[in-house]
Structures are given as C-alpha cells and as structure tokens.
C-alpha cells in the first residue's frame, strides 16, 4: 500500500463551479483517512479525481512517487466502493467478485484463488455460491468491498459506503470496515457526512469547506482543538459566543462577552489577536460543569430546559453569554427548570479562535 499526495488540485465544472480549490493533502501508507464536510463541499469530486474518474483542472496527484494525474483509472489500481453496492443480484457472490478479473483475462485458477482470498478478507468464507439476494445489507456491502479488494488495489476509496444500511448495522459495520482496512494494511480514504462515523473510525480526518481543507488532524485533535467555528459546530455540538479579545497570551487568551470575561485555549497557532479584536468562544456541552471546580470561567445562569436521558442529562441554561447547552454524566444533583445554577469550565477545555 502506498501514500497518496494531492498537490494544489483544483476542479472547475462547466467553467464556473469551483468544486476543488487548490487543495493539498497527504495521506500516509496504511492510513484510514476520512474526508468530512457539508454536502457540496467537494468530497466526491476529490475521491473521483484520486480514482481517475475525473481529471483535475489543475494540480497533481501521486501514489507513492508515481505521478498518476494523467493515468487512466484502471492503470491507477485505486478501487472505489460506493453507497449503492452496484452488485448483480442474479449472479453468485463469486461471480460478482470475479467479474473484474475475468475482464482482465486473468487465468481461471488464479481467479478462483483470489476470490477465495478476497472472501476471507471480508469474512465471507463459504459464501461464494450464494446469490446476492440471499444476503443481508451488511453482507452485500462486504461483497462490494471484496470486489474492490480482489484487484489488489493500491488504495481503497469509499464514498459514504454505509449510508444505505439501517442505524444499528451501520454502527456494527464501522468496526468491521476498520478492521478489514487495518488487518490488510490498506491505505483508505473514506468519505462521509456522518461525523460520529468519522470520529469512531478515522486515524486522521480532514474537514472540507468550499473545495479546500479547513482543518486536518486526529479525531481527538479535531474535536478538542477545532481552529474555526464551522469545524467546531460541524464536528459534535458546541456552544458558540462572540466577544472581544482582552488579553492574548502564548496559547491562551481572555475574551469579554457582554461584560463577562472568559479564558480559553487558542487553537490557531498563527493568530495573534489584538485587544478589542473580535473572537469566537467554543464550549462543548460536556465541558460545562454544574459544580465548583477550579474557579475559572464561572457564569451564573438559570435552567430553562432539562432532558433526562438516563446515561446523561441535558440542560439548557440561560446566561449572560447566551443560552448554553450543558451535558452532565453521573451528576451530583439533578437540577430542575427554574433553578439558579453556576456554570464552570477549565480554561484548557474552552477553545477560542478569531471570529470568521
């Protein structure tokens, strides 16, 4: 398996629609990499450019040291798996998988061996003679994975592969696909709009916006250190509030919002906010505590809504910095609507970036 490098790739459709805008990206060999972003931000276009199904208007794409920008799709050996499995329902599992090899005029004995190997990779040994319509949705998705893997691709490209499955199966398949990719040392790029799927499965992920990469990092980095408000609100839930910079330090800063000072971490290393400059504060619902902790970031509020969800309790609390969503696990005290409470948060848990 090989690394994939995307260098300044742009794609303009019909001379007007800029789907990709000078995008740079490096994916390591053996990495399970996720592309995330709102509908229309260019995820599928990027995947199609990497597969060779689309030609970039500008820029270059490398598999390892090989420049594949002008290479035909079948010569790139990048296998793509789609949301619709595109299997032939009247053919057996084996025939569905072997079809691509038969087209390449590979000897029968080798085809048989490789199909068996691919079935083993997706844990469907012994299913070769079944017909497709005898399989569950999850098994069908595994057949389409096997069909992709049987050609021994240099990389695996998955475009929303689980979107057609029901919620429960989708969650089970996360672990399944991840271990197929990892056990076989594949380099894989996985497109989804489901942020939880990305957080659960990715080695690293990139959030795309308007044909560019907004931020790239491990799931934990993206969730805990978002550098832009749209990344913070796209991945997980968050409370956002705008204010003015009071004091800027090396990696934290003080911001005043409606007369209340908050202190938090600065995630954009290049930002040197000046006093009075507009800034946005992002506070995850689970970061707020309803009991005294460090004395940092104390805000008085009134509970206006409560949802008891067993495992957790969700509140909405009105404060001087706006209505705050608060999530508590295993609380000391169960508060009621109308209660006056004080919210607390450690400065290391609050994130501050320039207002965009």
> Looking at 40-48, 74-82, 230-238, 256-264, which segment touches ligand ADP (CB under 6 A)?
40-48
> Looking at 20-28, 41-49, 111-119, 212-220, which segment touches Mg ion (CB under 5 A)?
41-49
CA distance 45 to 211: 9
Q: Which residue has the tokens 């799927």?
A: 197
Query: Which one of residues 6, 44, 201, 351 is an interface residue with Mg ion (CB under 5 A)?
Result: 44
> Looking at 32-40, 62-70, 308-316, 317-325, which segment touches ligand ADP (CB under 6 A)?
32-40
Q: Which residue has the tokens 């069909």?
A: 147
Query: Which one of residues 6, 25, 36, 42 is an interface residue with ligand ADP (CB under 6 A)?
Result: 42
Total residues contacting ligand ADP by CB under 6 A comes to 12
- Cα angle at 293 between 287 and 299, to 5 degrees? 65
Nearer to ligand ADP, 37 or 301 (CB): 37
56 binds ligand ADP (CB under 6 A): no
19 binds ligand ADP (CB under 6 A): yes
Position closest to Mg ion via CB: 44
13 binds ligand ADP (CB under 6 A): yes
- Cβ neighbour number for residue 273 with a 10 Å cutoff: 22
Q: Which does 88 bind (CB under 5 to 8 A by kind): Mg ion, ligand ADP, none?
A: none
> Looking at 11-19, 64-72, 176-184, 289-297, which segment touches ligand ADP (CB under 6 A)?
11-19
Taking the complex as a whole, how short is the minimal distance between the CB of residue 239 and ligand ADP, in angstroms?
A: 27
Taking the complex as a whole, how short is the minimal distance between the CB of residue 191 and Mg ion, in angstroms?
A: 6
Q: Which does 13 bind (CB under 5 to 8 A by kind): Mg ion, ligand ADP, none?
A: ligand ADP
Taking the complex as a whole, how short is the minimal distance between the CB of residue 164 and ligand ADP, in angstroms?
A: 16
Binding site for Mg ion (CB under 5 A): 44
Which residues contribute to the site for ligand ADP (CB under 6 A)? 13-14, 17, 19, 37, 39-45
């Amino acid at each position: 398996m090989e690394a994939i490098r995307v260098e300044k790739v742009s794609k303009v459709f019909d001379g007007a629609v800029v789907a990709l805008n000078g995008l740079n990206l490096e994916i390591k060999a053996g990495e399970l990499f996720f592309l995330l972003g709102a509908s229309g931000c260019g995820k599928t276009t990027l995947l199609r450019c990497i597969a060779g199904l689309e030609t970039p208007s500008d820029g270059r794409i490398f598999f390892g040291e090989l420049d594949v920008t002008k290479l035909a799709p079948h010569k790139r050996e990048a296998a793509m798996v789609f949301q619709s499995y595109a299997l032939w329902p009247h053919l057996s599992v084996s025939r569905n998988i072997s079809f691509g090899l038969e087209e390449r005029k590979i000897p029968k004995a080798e085809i048989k061996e490789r199909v068996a190997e691919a079935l083993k990779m997706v844990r469907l040994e012994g299913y070769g003679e079944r017909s497709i319509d005898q399989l569950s949705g999850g098994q069908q998705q595994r057949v389409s994975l096997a069909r992709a893997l049987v050609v021994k691709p240099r990389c695996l490209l998955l475009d929303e592969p689980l979107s057609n499955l029901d919620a429960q199966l989708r969650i089970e398949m996360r672990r399944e696909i991840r271990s197929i990719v990892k056990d076989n040392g594949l380099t894989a790029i996985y497109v989804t709009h489901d942020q939880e799927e990305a957080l659960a499965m990715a080695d690293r992920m990139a959030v795309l916006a308007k044909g560019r990469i907004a931020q790239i990092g491990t799931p934990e980095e993206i969730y805990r250190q978002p550098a832009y408000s749209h990344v913070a609100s796209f991945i997980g839930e968050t409370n956002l509030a705008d204010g003015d910079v009071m004091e800027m330090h090396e990696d934290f800063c003080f911001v005043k919002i409606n007369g209340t000072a908050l202190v938090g971490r600065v995630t954009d290393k290049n930002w040197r906010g000046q006093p009075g400059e507009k800034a946005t504060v992002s506070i995850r619902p689970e970061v707020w505590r309803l009991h005294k902790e460090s004395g940092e970031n104390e805000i008085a509020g009134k509970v206006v809504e409560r949802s008891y969800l067993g495992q957790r309790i969700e509140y909405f609390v009105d404060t001087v910095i706006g209505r705050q969503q608060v999530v508590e696990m295993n609380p000391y005290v169960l508060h009621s609507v109308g209660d006056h409470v004080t919210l607390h948060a450690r400065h290391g848990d609050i994130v501050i970036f320039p207002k965009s």
